[in-house]
Amino acid sequence: QPVLTQSSSASASLGSSVKLTCTLSSGHSSYIIAWHQQQPGKAPRYLMKLEGSGSYNKGSGVPDRFSGSSSGADRYLTISNLQSEDEADYYCETWDSNTRVFGGGTKLTVL
Amino acid sequence: EVQLVQSGAEVKKPGESLKISCKGSGYSFTSYWIGWVRQMPGKGLEWMGIIYPGDSDTRYSPSFQGQVTISADKSISTAYLQWSSLKASDTAMYYCARPGVAGRNEYFQHWGQGTLVTVSS
C-alpha cells in the first residue's frame, strides 16, 4: 500500500510564500492525492485534489493563494501571500480500492 | 449544502461500549461512501474504515479491523462507529468524512465537526 511522507514542520513570514511537500512511496508515484488543512481546534478542511500531471481542483471557497504542483513522486502545496489564518496543520491523503492513507502532517507556522 | 453532523462528546469508562453517529444531509445518503478517521491527542489523522450505505459494503484499515464496527442506517441517513469494550487508548477525536463523487471510494471532500471520546477510569 502507498505511504505518504511529509516534513513535520515548516515556517514562513507573513506575506511570503511557502511550498509544502508530500512524497509518495516507491511504486506509487502516479497516485492522485488530496490536501487538507486543519486549523487549531477545528476539523480538517479539504483544499484540493492534485494529480501526478500537476493538474489540481480546489474545493469550494479555497482562496486563490493556494495552488498545487507535482514532480515525480512529489506533490506540492504552495501558499502565497501567507496570512495568519494559514497557520495550521496540512495533511496529504491518498487511496486505492481497499485502503486510504494520510501523511503525518506538516505544522505550518506563520512568523 | 452537504452537511455531516456528528453526535456530541462522550466520557466513558474502560470496558464500556459506545456508539457515535454521523448524520448526512443535503445529498443522497445511499449514493456516497462515508468513512471514519481517528485523531489521537496531538497526533495526525488515521483512516479507520469506510462504508457504502447503499449496500453496506464496508472496508476496514488493518489497524482497526476487529477493534471497531462501522455501520449505517439508510432510513435516517446516519453512519455509526461503535466499540464493544473501550480502552483508555481509544481516547481521541473521531471524524466522519465523505468523498466528493457518488459511488467513488476516493479522497474525502466533506468532513464532520468531530466527536471527542474520552475513556478514563
Rounded distance between C-alpha atoms, residue A74 and residue A82, angstroms:
22
pLDDT in the model for residue A96:
87
pLDDT in the model for residue B18:
98
Strand B115-119 and strand A18-24: the pairing is unpaired
Grid coordinates representing A53?
500531471
Contacts B97 to A, Cβ<8 Å:
44
Model confidence over B34-89: pLDDT tens digits? 999 999 999 999 999 999 999 999 999 999 999 999 999 999 999 999 999 999 99
Q: Give me the residue from A94, A97, A101 closest to B105, CB to CB.
A: A97
- Measured in angstroms, the CA of B16 and the nearest CA of chain A are apart by 26
- State the DSSP code for B89: G
Model confidence over A69-103: pLDDT tens digits? 999 999 999 999 999 999 999 999 999 878 999 99
Model confidence over A5-61: pLDDT tens digits? 999 999 999 999 999 999 999 999 999 999 999 999 999 999 999 999 999 999 999
Q: How far is CA B98 from CA A20, A44, A64, B11, B67, in A?
A: 25, 12, 24, 26, 22
Rounded distance between C-alpha atoms, residue A77 and residue A57, angstroms:
12
What average pLDDT is seen over chain B? 97
